[in-house]
Amino acid sequence: MTEAALLTVRNLRVVYPGDDGDFRAVRNLSFKLGRERLGIVGESGSGKSTTGRAIMGLIAKPGRVEADELRLGDTDLTNLDEDGFRKLRGKRIAMVLQDPKYSLDPVMKVGKQIAETHRHHFGSDAKTARNAALEMLHAVHIRNPELVYNQYAHQVSGGMGQRIMIAMMLIAGPDILIADEPTSALDVSVQAQVLAIMDEMVRSRGMGLILISHNLHLVSTFLAALPQLGDKRDPLPQLQRDPAWLVDLPAAVGADR
């Protein structure tokens, strides 16, 4: 890639200490992300969400994150403190989680939550923030933004909830969106809609997207449009399976309760 990478991950390791010793949830993961879409696929428990959380600075102690290189553009994430991460989250990198029920505040109108995110990042006045929120709701194809703005999380459908989350995550204009199983709680036709909207948003803003899923079919459908004529791409990275991982497996299963 000629363009500087948005995100560089080299030998990322995440360790959760436990009573039976260290549990190594992520072992030497490396990739680079440009203004492109990257799928991370793996079976349950393989460390996908842990990877996303590590990049966002959301691994709680005593969990440990180590890497030979972990860089967001020019920013070194390997020794960034919580204050530093807080400045990056939302503004430069955002993450959409599987179930909006856990990410949306149940007692604040959904539109207000998007508006508050805008105010937090841009220090905008109430009216500007509200208008920006309505515009984002419109951009994620919500037909009646004014109505939905005033609803609470429990009043919106799953697919709409995910679109609201996408709106909220993109309102501060991050360079990268990490989507962790963003549609697994939805039925198939709604999944396709939400993925298409996310794809459209990410492309039109020239962002990088990391789509995390245990569902290879879903990711391959999503990525099927690649490569495109005229797009330059790196060769696809190959999966490495270190035989040593298998030796550790019983301990891993033990720690997986």
Ligand X SMILES: Nc1ncnc2c1ncn2[C@@H]1O[C@H](COP(=O)(O)OP(=O)(O)OP(=O)(O)O)[C@@H](O)[C@H]1O
Nearest in space to 168 (alpha carbons), one of 90, 246, 242: 90
* Minimum CB–partner distance for residue 196 and ligand X (Å): 23
183 makes contact, choosing from Mg ion, ligand X, none, with CB < 5 to 8 Å by partner type, with: none
* Minimum CB–partner distance for residue 119 and ligand X (Å): 32
* Binding of ligand X by 47 (CB under 6 A): yes
Options 50, 103, 113, 162; binder of ligand X; rule CB under 6 A: 50
* Binding of ligand X by 45 (CB under 6 A): yes
158 makes contact, choosing from Mg ion, ligand X, none, with CB < 5 to 8 Å by partner type, with: none
Between 101 and 140, how does the x/- string for binding to ligand X read (CB under 6 A)?
----------------------------------------
Among residues 14 and 110, whose Cβ is nearest to ligand X? 14
Supply φ then ψ for residue 157, to 5 degrees: -70, 170
Options 39, 63, 84, 145; binder of ligand X; rule CB under 6 A: 63
* Minimum CB–partner distance for residue 223 and ligand X (Å): 18
* Binding of ligand X by 200 (CB under 6 A): no
* Minimum CB–partner distance for residue 153 and Mg ion (Å): 21
Among residues 37 and 48, whose Cβ is nearest to Mg ion? 48
The residue of the chain with the least Cβ separation from Mg ion equals: 49
* Minimum CB–partner distance for residue 73 and ligand X (Å): 25
